[in-house]
Every structure is written in structure tokens, then in C-alpha cells.
Amino acid sequence: MKLVTEQMEQFLAGGAWIRRIFEYGLELKKQYGEDAVCDFSLGNPDLPPPAVVGECLADLAGQADKPFAFGYMPNPGYPAVRAALAGHLATEQNCAVAADDLLLTCGAAGGINVFFRSVLTPGDEVICPIPYFVEYSFYAGNFGGVLKPVATKPETFELDIAAIEAAITPRTRVVMINSPNNPTGQVYSEATLRELAAMLTRASAGRERPIFLLADEPYRFLAYDGIEVPPVLPLYPYAVVIGSFSKNLSLPGERVGYVVVSPLMEGREQLVAAMVIANRILGFVNAPAVGQALLLRALGHAVDRTVYARRREAMAGVLTRAGYEFTMPRGAFYFFPKSPDPDELVFLDRLSAERVLAVPGRGFGLPGYFRLAFCVDEAVINRSEAGFVRARRG
């Protein structure tokens, strides 16, 4: 007797590389102890949230007996939160964002699904540079969309605008980017984004359905060496930005994100209204009330980025001394080194035998590489060096 669809059976059989390795790491820690395992599988922020988060939670607890303290609210979110977030984004994106240009969502993942539900019809294509966060293909597939991977420039992982343009067909509906990037840590330059916007403007000319530029930006706050993440909304009228507060406030479990559309987009009221309906009918209903209250108090606050910067330097040192090839990440908290074995699964078997855990590049659409999440204690990074050395030697 079949209880689930064939598609879900395939998903169950395949599993997700990140979660599979993370769960394997939990078993290893039970067997050998926490300090005997160096787990770089999951991008789960380990820094405590800013102090304002705890203060806000204490205040909320004192208001729990008030009627509707945690009740329903308008589907796009509390008006005061949307207004505050609009002001924050107007500065961040360098354009006149209004409260009516955005809605609060259940994390960035919820926001992407809400957007795709609003713009995709079965068979529509979502162009996405390789490597990419693996869940993107599922999000597009939820609504009949087809993820269409496109190569980036070798070694640097910069966008290849010519390759993106060559991939556009009459069914192209979205070009999706992620900067700072998971898994490479690449931050796309303003010049590159302007070139992409100019190309999409040409490609959308004369189309009844424009090509959207969707920028997923959960790591926006986390760039290094004085790099600024360029704003996307002012560059292209059909730009849409997805954001969340999982990384900058260390609140991934609270699921608070947003979708904001470019104020240059004509008729954007219809798109926002459609996403509000999608938020409801997909079962998200609204972003969590507690998370929105935290956001209202914590806007402009963030965890200490210098901790991640120190860990980046420590990880780079370990990999360099162990003889690995890699591009230094400019943002986020990931390295994406080249595997010393052409088949990264063969190499990662050796690495896991050293109780050092990483995610294969094929999980992000690019075999021959592997991802390391350095949102772990610096002691774990330093302790992993001997394992990296032995695994590389084979």
C-alpha cells in the first residue's frame, strides 16, 4: 500500500546531503564524544542573539495575559513592523521602499515559496547560477517550475552574464541569485549586478510576462574586508529581494523573513497582494507574532561579525597549511574548497573517517568541491587540521 506520492518517495530515498551528514555527526558525537568530532555540515549560527532579543522576550512574557497578545494579525504582518522594516530597507537598498512594498514571511524559505506561488506557472523556468542552495529546486518544483542551473565563472564563482543570457528562453520567468552566496561565500559586485540588470531589461523588453530578478539575501549583513553588499532593488524594476533575520540575529528557529519588491515596478500592488494571498493559502498565514515583536525591537542590531571574521581566518589557515585549493569567501560563513580527489564523495569518506564532516559539492549542483560551514567554535576549526592533512594524503 502506497501512502505517499512517487515524487515524495524519490525525495525520501535521496534525502538532503546537509541534513544527512549533520545527523551522521550527531551519531558520531554520541559514540566518540563532542570534542572528537569536527562537524562543518550545517550553517546553524552558534553565536547568541544580541542582548536586545532577551530583553524583548522578557517584556513579552510580562504581556502574555493581555487579550490578543499573540493573536492573529493582518496576513502581511503587523503594520508597525512593516513600517519599521520599510524604513530600514530604504536605507539598506538605497531606494524609497514603503510598507506596502513588502510582507513578513515565515523565514526566507517561506518568502521564496510565496513569491514562486505568485509568479510561476507549470513549465516556467528559474535560472540559477551553480553552485546553489539545494532547496531552490524544490521550491520551484512545488509550483511546477523548473530550476535551470547555469555555470558561473571557474574558480571565482562570479556570475557569467553571457551564460545566463544564453540560457533564457520564452519560458524563463525568474533569474535567481544569492549573494553573499551559499556555498561559495562570493559577493557579486555592483558592476556585475548592473550588467545583469541591463541584460534582463533587454531580455524582458516586449514580453507580456517580464523576467524577475530574485535576490535571496539572508547573509547580507555578513561580508568581510570592508566589502559592501550592493543593493539590487534600484537596479531593475522587476527586482524582488528575500531577506531573513536568521543569521544576523541568530534566530533561525524563529522563522522571520520578508519579501520586498522594487518601488520601480509598475503595478507592484498586484504582486504584493498576490503574495499576501499566497502566504495565507500555503498555510503560513503570517510570520510568527513573537518573531515580529523581536524584529521591531532588534532592527539595526546584529551579532558580533568579528567572531565570524576570526573563524574565517582560522579556517583559511587550516586549509592552506593542509594544502587545499580554495577561493577566499567574501561573505557568509562557508568555504567551498576543491576536492583533492576528482570524486569528492571518495575524499569525504576519508575525511569522515577522521571524524571531520563536510557536505559534498554535488549537493549544491557542483561535484568536485565540498562545503565547510565555519559557524562553529574556533577550537573545532583548529582541531580539524590534522584530519584534513591525513585525508588529503589518502
Whichever domain contains 137, its CATH number is 3.40.640.10
- Is residue 378 assigned to a domain? yes
Cell of 135: 532547496
Cα 271 to Cα 106, 117, 267, distances in angstroms: 18, 11, 7
Q: How far apart are CA 74 and CA 23, in angstroms?
A: 38
| The pTM of the whole model exceeds 0.85 | yes
- 369 with 258, same domain: the answer is no
Residue 70 sits in the same domain as residue 90: yes
**What per-residue confidence (pLDDT) applies to 15?**
60
The yes-or-no verdict on residue 347 having pLDDT over 80 is yes
308-327 b/e (C-beta count within 10 Å ≥ 16 → b): beebbebbbebbeebebebb
The percentage of residues in the chain with a pLDDT greater than 90, rounded to a whole number, is: 82
Whether residue 153 is found in the same domain as residue 263: yes
Shortest CA distance to 284 belongs to which of 140, 142, 130, 104? 104
* 290 in Cβ contact with 70 (< 8 Å): yes
Cell triple for 106 = 515565515
The residues, any chain, with a CB within 8 Å of residue 229's CB and separated by 6 or more, are 179, 180, 187, 217, 220, 223, 331
Beta-bridged to residue 102, according to DSSP, are 260
**287 shares a domain with 186:** yes
- Predicted local confidence at residue 14, as pLDDT: 63
**58 and 44 inside one domain:** no
Q: Judge if 88 and 183 occupy the same domain.
A: yes
Residue 43, pLDDT score: 87
C-alpha cell recorded at residue 342: 576528482
Average pLDDT score over the chain:
94
Q: Pick from 298, 326, 345: which residue ends a domain?
A: 298
Asked if the structure places residue 41 within a domain, the reply is yes
Write down the H helix ranges in the chain.
Answer: 6-14, 17-32, 51-62, 79-93, 107-119, 135-141, 161-167, 190-204, 268-281, 289-298, 305-322, 344-353, 378-383, 385-393
In a domain, 119, yes or no: yes
CATH code of the domain covering residue 21: 3.90.1150.10
- Are residues 371 and 262 located together in one domain of the fold? no
Distance of CA 238 to the CA centre of its chain: 20
3-state secondary structure of 270: helix
Residues 313 and 325 in one domain: yes
Mean pLDDT value across residues 345-356? 94
Identify the three-state secondary structure at position 1. coil
**Structural domains in the chain (count):** 2
Within a domain: residue 177? yes
Q: Which domain holds residue 224?
A: 53-298
Give residue-wise pLDDT tens across range 101-147. Answer: 999 999 999 999 999 999 999 999 999 999 999 899 999 999 999 99
Say whether both 29 and 87 belong to one domain: no
Residue 318 domain-assigned (yes or no) = yes
Residue that terminates a domain, selected from 282, 298, 314: 298
Picking from 263, 280, 298, the residue at the C-terminal end of a domain is 298
pLDDT at 70: 82
**Which one has a higher pLDDT value, 1 or 247?**
247
The CA distance from 88 to 82, in Å, is: 10
pLDDT band at 22 (very low <50, low <70, confident <90, very high): confident
Q: pLDDT digit string (tens) for 28-71?
A: 788 888 888 899 998 889 999 999 989 998 988 888 788 777 88
Give the pLDDT confidence of 151-210 residue by residue, as tens digits: 999 889 999 999 999 999 999 999 999 999 999 999 999 999 999 999 999 999 989 999
For residues 157 and 129, give the distance between their C-alpha atoms in angstroms, rounded to a whole number.
9
User: In the structure, what pLDDT confidence band is assigned to residue 3 with cuts at 50, 70 and 90?
Assistant: very high
